[in-house]
Amino acid sequence: MSNLKEILINKKICKSVWFMRQAGRYLPEFREIRSKNKNFINLCLNSELSSEITLQPIKRFNLDSAIIFSDILMVPYALNQRVDFVKDKGPILEEFNFKKFLNNDKISFTQKLFPIYKAIQNTRKKLDKKKSLIAFVGAPWTLLIYMLGVKQSKEKINYKKIKDKEFEVNLILDKLNNYLCTHIENQINAGADVVQIFDSWAGLILPEDLPNYCYIPNLKIVDFCKERKIPVICFPKGINEGYKEFNNVVKPDGINLDYDIDPVWAKENLLNVVLQGGLSPKVLLLSDKEILQKTKKYLDVFRELPYVFNLGHGLIPETDPDKVKKLIEFYREY
């Protein structure tokens, strides 16, 4: 085991494993809590339960890092845009009001998210000091997609709406950046020691718009973190070979690979950065033999590089916890 913060800072070749969405719906202990707490926003704002959920996979699997149980959409919520999580539909946000958005301030924003910071404090007290506690934010572009309600499917957005309001969009991205940096600083002050930036919908950006909508917003947050010596991992999901330019421009401490990135290509093209993840979460739905074969491919490619074992997206609800346990054991024995 090695501390994630130490790996990111020193780019050491060490064993470290954690999973995105490791505290979530695939765990029976989480489902028990969730069944009694129907409102997802309220659950994220319950400091005691949020901390308990964060620690569930640590207790079960002894993973090397905990990631605080929360959601990227807590930021729009704190900016006074109503957010509802509807079963089988996902998050639904009320219609965006530009004037209302501009009327926000950092004091009320911080107050609305205070229970998250309290949950981080609670978790840090209970977590082994050798283990990292990961805070996270959604990247400005990804939050914008939800806030403007432009997502039409997993592969398509109403791009015309964004281009027609380009001045307004750029102002929203800039303002979001400021609030996200505040949220990061508050989480670090509460006890987190690593930050991951999720740009989950970066793959929906046209190639010519990647600098403006993806690289620059992520760069601003990464620079903010570096000025404060906060180790930062970026996850620009879906941008394919744009990963290379992203890494060269943004220069994060770590970069999470999605499952469409060929690990050999990543090894050859993503330099001076700690690589993380890559394995498809759907692999965990296969037989034990197939899981270990596909896992070994990643481990063989990255064995001589600083690499954090993770997935190319979050664990999915259908995952059998026993398969997760076997995967972790295989990784550690490897």
Question: Which one from 26, 77, 117, 146 is the annotated catalytic residue?
Answer: 146
Q: Is 332 helix (H, G, I), strand (E, B) or coil?
A: helix
pLDDT per position as a tens digit, 9-51: 999 888 899 999 999 999 999 999 999 999 999 999 999 999 9
Q: Are 216 and 224 in contact, with CB atoms under 8 Å apart? A: no
Q: How many domains does the chain have?
A: 1
Structure-block tokens of residue 326: 């076997």
Residue 124: C-alpha distances to residues 12, 172, 234 (Å): 24, 33, 23
Residues 6+ apart with CB under 8 A from 260: 238, 240, 312
Q: Is 164 helix (H, G, I), strand (E, B) or coil?
A: helix
Structure-block tokens of residue 300: 């063989």
pLDDT per position as a tens digit, 96-110: 999 999 999 999 999
Q: Is the pTM of this model over 0.85?
A: yes
Whether 34 is a known active-site residue: answer yes
Q: Which domain holds residue 218?
A: 4-333
Q: Are 8 and 34 in contact, with CB atoms under 8 Å apart? A: no
Q: What torsion, rounded to 10 degrees, do the Cα atoms 147, 154, 116, 80 define?
A: 10
Question: Which one from 26, 64, 71, 243 is the annotated catalytic residue?
Answer: 71
Helix (H) or strand (E) holding 52: helix 47-61
Rounded Cα distance between 293 and 283, Å, is: 10
Structure-block tokens of residue 145: 């997609």
Residues 6+ apart with CB under 8 A from 277: 20, 235, 256, 257, 258, 308, 309, 310, 311, 312
Rounded Cα distance between 226 and 135, Å, is: 15
Query: What one-character DSSP code corresponds to residue 95?
Result: P
Q: What is the CATH number of the domain that holds 170?
A: 3.20.20.210
Whether 31 is a known active-site residue: answer no
Whether 71 is a known active-site residue: answer yes
Residue-by-residue pLDDT tens, the chain, 334 positions: 478 999 999 998 888 999 999 999 999 999 999 999 999 999 999 999 999 999 999 999 999 999 999 999 999 999 999 999 988 788 999 999 999 999 999 999 999 999 999 999 999 999 999 999 999 999 999 999 999 999 888 788 999 999 999 999 999 999 999 999 999 999 999 999 999 999 999 999 999 999 999 999 999 999 999 999 999 999 999 999 999 999 999 999 999 999 999 999 999 999 999 999 999 999 999 999 999 999 999 999 999 999 999 999 999 999 999 999 999 999 999 8
Q: Is 125 helix (H, G, I), strand (E, B) or coil?
A: helix
- Residue 87: the pLDDT is 81
- Residue 1: the pLDDT is 47
